[in-house]
Amino acid sequence: MRSLFPFLALYRNHFGLLALGIILAITSLAASIGLLSLSGWFLAASALVGSSLFFNFFYPSAGVRGLAIGRTVSRYFERLVTHDGTFRVLANLRVEIFRKLIPLSPAKLSRYRHSELLNRLVADVDTLDTLYLNLLSPFISAVMVILFIGIGLSFISPLLALVICGTLTALLFVLPTLFYHLGQKLGKVAIHSRANYRSQFIEWVQLNAEFLLFGMQSQASEKLCQTEQQWLNAQSKESQLSGLSNAILIMANGILMTVVIYLSAKAISVPSAEHPKALIALVVFCVLASLEILMPIGIAFLHLGQVIASAERLSEITNQQPLVTFTGNAEWQKTENNQPLIRFEQVDFSYPEQDEMVLRQLSFSIAQGQKVAILGKTGSGKSTIFQLLVRNYDVTSGQIWLNHCKLSEFSENTLRENLVVLSQRVHIFSNTLRENLLMGNPQADDQQLIAILEQVGLVYLLEQEGLKLWLGEGGRPLSGGEQRRLGLARLLLSKADIVLLDEPTEGLDRETEQQILQIILTHCQHKTLLMITHRLNGLTHFDQVYKIDNGRLV
């Protein structure tokens, strides 16, 4: 249960809206019980009076209509307010979780698959929406309505009020506790099975061609079916427990009604009432309507295990401490050409939870305005240099100097503003062409964006919808080459002094490679450029060529 406390704290931001939802839920529930109780009394009293002309049916009939309208209106606004409050809390929850995930990337998140992270950020957060809708609101409403029933029935018969409210209160606390313990283990199994199934299904879709090629499709499909069956079995057992919960409530309600009918004959004594015997119907129908109070509670607490399991899965990630923290406030200084800008001093580095050193006593210096190419075989440590420069990781030992300051002395904003990276994989966001370009420079106007698109050869994308062109998830309308050019456009928009290129022309034909390389070199004429590459083409344009082997500069 403690794992829910951090998420409950988010409810304070929308306390007024959520409290209003609970008040409307109490009003709706009270109106529903009052409607059935008053209707029972009205019908019984009308039958007892018969054809007498001295029965005032205006007040009870008006009450029935008023309660019916009140129940409908309050139920509508209760649904509106509670769901709106829930969606607002979920929105804040997703932002809060994403805010905690950002500092963990990539060092802490590298051991999680993308499908696993997505499942936690989407499915597990969605599971938490039941915390308010199906648990807090119904439980608080049930407590308050039982209290109101006790107060109202005490004027008719204190004994019946004690019996009815005592039984309802006992059921309210015993039944949820019982079914919470019964469903706790099943909830965890269901949540973990769902997560495993979705991850395996995504893997099965993405690697289907490889499975066919190596004859492993049947094994992968069988594994997927086993996980699905485990998930379905957990859901089936939860459904059986849900049916048992409803059966127990209906049986308890029937027993309570039998006891109340038996006691009503002697317990109800209100001489001042106009039709005392009709009050028996009022009490009995009140007991019958009380089933509506408890019906959602048992099922909700049965699924509390799923909510707790989802909260634990989210907390498992968000409670981690980032390996890199930005606490510096050094200002970026303007430097002249040929002045020292980047310096590695005896840098050793190994990735978290790995003993092998990726970089060993690495030392080199790069001056402002220099163009440096970094060569080396796969796994030699080239990309690690970039990872350290952008502070995705901190060095194990040694020191990195940047613009006359230690790298750790810069704030994250300062570092990101002055270093720009173009990697092999360009991420395209599900947004417009304009918004994807503005990631390179948020202050750029439309004329600048159009000019950059002309420069990288993507101006034809403006023919249909202009800069409002929707690129979709992962840039589906674009080819691989077009995505690479879009990443280049972002780089050209950036005003950063240091440009880091990680295999920017990998997979491109020779002509396109030369075009992109020429555009980059022209843009970086007065900037410092570091490029990781396997190719020897175009190295004559660079001032220095470093070769890295086994983590050392050779």
DSSP helix/strand/coil, 144:
helix
What local confidence, expressed as pLDDT, does residue 148 receive? 92
Looking from the CA of 396 toward its CB, the CA atoms found within 13 Å total 16
DSSP helix/strand/coil, 193:
helix
Q: Of 76-90, 353-367, 381-395, 521-535, which has the strongest mean pLDDT?
A: 76-90
| Best CATH choice for the domain 2-318 from the list 3.40.50.360, 1.10.10.10, 1.20.1560.10, 3.40.50.1110 | 1.20.1560.10
Q: Tell me if 533 sits within 8 A of 362, measured CB to CB.
A: no
Higher pLDDT, 537 or 126: 126
Q: Is the pLDDT of residue 418 over 70?
A: yes
Q: Is the pLDDT of residue 73 over 60?
A: yes
Omega within 30 of 0 (cis) for the link into 271: no
Dig out the tokens for 510 from the structure.
């020779």
**Second CATH level (architecture) for the domain 340-553:** 3-Layer(aba) Sandwich (3.40)
What average pLDDT does range 13-30 have in this prediction? 90
User: pLDDT tier at 281 (50, 70, 90 boundaries)?
Assistant: confident
Looking from the CA of 260 toward its CB, the CA atoms found within 13 Å total 30
Q: Tell me if 144 sits within 8 A of 252, measured CB to CB.
A: no
H-helix or E-strand spanning residue 308: helix 304-318
Whole-number Cα distances in Å, 363 to 163, 500, 518: 83, 18, 29
pLDDT tens-digit series, residues 106-127: 777 777 777 777 778 888 888 8
Handedness of CA 134, 31, 256, 246 (dihedral sign): negative
pLDDT tens-digit series, residues 228-279: 898 899 888 888 888 888 898 889 988 998 888 888 877 665 554 556 677 8
Dig out the tokens for 236 from the structure.
């089936």
Domain ranges for the chain, please list them: 2-318, 340-553
What is the rounded CA–CA span in Å between residue 551 and residue 362? 7
What local confidence, expressed as pLDDT, does residue 282 receive? 86
User: pLDDT tier at 22 (50, 70, 90 boundaries)?
Assistant: very high
What average pLDDT does range 453-472 have in this prediction? 83
CA–centroid distance for 188 within its chain: 18
What average pLDDT does range 380-403 have in this prediction? 86
